[in-house]
Structure 1
Amino acid sequence: MNQLVKASTFAGNTFAVWVLLFAVLALFFPVQFVWIGPYISLLLGIVMFGMGMTLSLDDFKLILKQPKGVVIGVLAQFIIMPLLAYGLAKGLSLPPEIAVGVILVGACPGGTASNVMTYLAKGNTALSVTITSVSTLLAPVLTPAIIYLLASEWLPVSASDMFVSVVKMVVVPIVLGLLVKVLFKKQAERSLGAMPLVSVIAIVMIVAAVVSGSRDKILETGLLIFAVVILHNALGLLAGFIIAKLLKLEYPDQKAISIEVGMQNSGLGAALAVAHFNPVAAVPSAIFSFWHNISGPLLATYWGWKANKNTDKTSSISG
């Protein structure tokens, strides 16, 4: 079991490398990965099941203890990223499938990796976990509604069908994960160490499926999509930080909200794109999955280094 936990930790720490590696392999050898396409929803369900196994009532207590931070974080998540996505799609006159794909990423809740990044950044990790949990549980209603409002001018959107999809892919697996945790507590606790490895494998397979299924379009517009994703992510991180600062939240909370806003559940974006539009619309999610696992750790490392430096300064002055 210790070896499995070590492998899981290694996979989590090198996540971006595996995403990039298999994305490149899928680009050059698409036939080897196309078969994964029909299983994207199932793979996302596995990731969400793992998230359910990690949740507890403590994750939601902060709603009562620190409602301001939670409300600001959740609202920022579902307002900033969708509006940035819409602005980029309009401003850059993106092709319909790509425009919808970018909006899809923006309308998704925060990704679980944001919690780890907030911890490394010496931010408010409890706040990050609560925002991720609340935004994920609100996703069945808010994500389809936002996509319908912002993306309908490019492609037809069925908010009701999308609602059903999000419930199936997100809520049901999370509830099942919670039930397993409650009913089989000891076994669930033993298996938690392996969950990062399972999640990494699932997300890598989703990315490989998307890339292999949209190979020609990626080769045609890959640089444009990559530039849009980088811009979207960077603006989200910046806007989240500025909003939290303007609303006078504490510095650790500002870092948590910045990372929450900038790091999305791109697996959900890819799954919804494939289920309701076409594989091309899933490409921004696939690239986002890779990129935010580079920008997030870079920002977290900087903030963590800055916090440690300030701590050392304080210690030397008091000593």
Structure 2
Amino acid sequence: MEFAALALPFALGVIMFGLGLDLTPGDFGRVAKAPRAAVIALACQLLALPVLCFGLVLLFRLPPLLAVGMMLLAASPGGTAANLYSHLFRGDVALNISLTAINSVIAVITLPVITNLAIQIFQPGDLTVGLQFRKTLEVFLIVLVPVALGMTVRAIRPGFARAMDKPVRIASIVILAIVVIGAAASSLDLLTANVLRLGGVATAFCLLSLGIGYAVPRLLKIEKPQAVATAFEVGIHNATLAIVVAQSVLAQPEMALPAAVYGILMFPLAAVFGMIVTRQRAAA
């Protein structure tokens, strides 16, 4: 447990540092020039997804610890893989980068709030306090400090930042795989007992998130490239962050299981979704 307490925040730090290497201050300001798509995406992410996830948790009748873990996942911002999928399936990558940056900042507030509410509702064991100021500060440190460092490196050494882009992306995927395996192994009995429910709720949450992220912007007359970007931003969550918060901040390894299962399923599900959307665009 002591090793995990040190290794998991460091692993997340590498991923968030890589995100920072992709960002500039202009990414935050770009949204102000075309705010409509960003506002719709953030509304889906911050308002629709927690409600959707809460409904799925009740529908699948998850045990309290797993229920809070799912809500923690829903509160996590978009993952760095969203940018890659948006690029592969012709989305507006600049919008993805901007949304990821803004979401990472907002999540410092919204993630503790949503997780705290979930803890109060589901009452998992004797964990009834939720994320207080000290824990909120921990979330702030493990999310924003590495991002700020990455942005600083990019500003000072842009050539180095470009050269490190691919290695850090590969490292992020490897780290996610290791974190997912570790989270599953640490609570294997609970995972085995709930594997069908977890697989079902994670699949439903991922597909519905992708669908909402695409359909809502299109219904509101947002251009297709921006709708594709929104779909992946809303549908691909930072599973590593959810696992780190569950294990290192809340000290509840069982809460990491929904994010671990989701972390395995989201890649093929997002790829299938992207191919379907691309075919629709080609037909149109």
TM-score, shorter chain, exceeding 0.5: yes
Q: Provide Cα deviations, 1:105-125, integer angstroms capped at 9, x if missing partner.
A: 101111111112122222222
Equivalent residue, structure 1, for 2:227: 254
The 1:78/1:226 distance shift into structure 2, 3 A limit, reads: same
The 8 Å contact of residues 36 and 209 in structure 1, kept in 2 or not, is answered as: no
For 1:284, the aligned partner's letter is P
Give the corresponding residue for 1:165: 138
* 8 A Cα contact 1:109 1:132, kept in partner: yes
Q: In the alignment, what sits opposite 2:256? A: 282
Distance change >3 Å, CA 151–CA 72, structure 1 → 2: farther
TM-score, structure 1 normalization: 0.81
Deviation, 1:35, is 8.3
Give yes or no for contact 1:96–1:154 (8 Å, CA) kept in 2. Answer: yes
Distance 1:271 1:81 in 2: 20
The alignment covers a number of residue pairs equal to 277
Q: Distance in 2 between matches of 1:294 and 1:69?
A: 26
Partner of 1:304: 278
CA deviation vs aligned residue, 1:244-285 (integer Å, no higher than 9, x gap): 123221222222222211111111111111120411110000
Partner of 2:184: 211
> What residue number does 2:15 align with?
47
Letter in 2 for 1:286: A
| Structure-2 change in CA distance of 1:297 and 1:159 (3 Å) | farther
SS at match of 1:192: helix
- Percent identity of the aligned residues? 27
User: Would you say the 8 A contact 2:115–2:131 is kept in 1?
Assistant: no
Runs of at least 5 residues in structure 1 that lack an aligned partner in the other structure: 1-33, 311-319
Q: Would you say the 8 A contact 2:113–2:131 is kept in 1?
A: no
Residue of structure 2 equivalent to 1:29: none
Larger Rg: 1
- Give unmatched runs, 5+ long, in structure 2: none
Supply the RMSD in Å over aligned alpha carbons.
1.9
* Counterpart-to-counterpart distance in 1, 2:34 and 2:25: 15
CA distance in 1, matches of 2:184, 2:135: 22
2 CA distance for matches of 1:234 and 1:192?
28
How far apart are the structure 2 equivalents of 1:245 and 1:191? 35
Q: Which residue of 2 aligns with 1:104?
A: 72
- The reply on whether 1:233 has 2:233 as its aligned counterpart is no
- Residue in structure 2 matching 1:292, options 266, 272, 275: 266
CA distance in 2, matches of 1:189, 1:256: 22
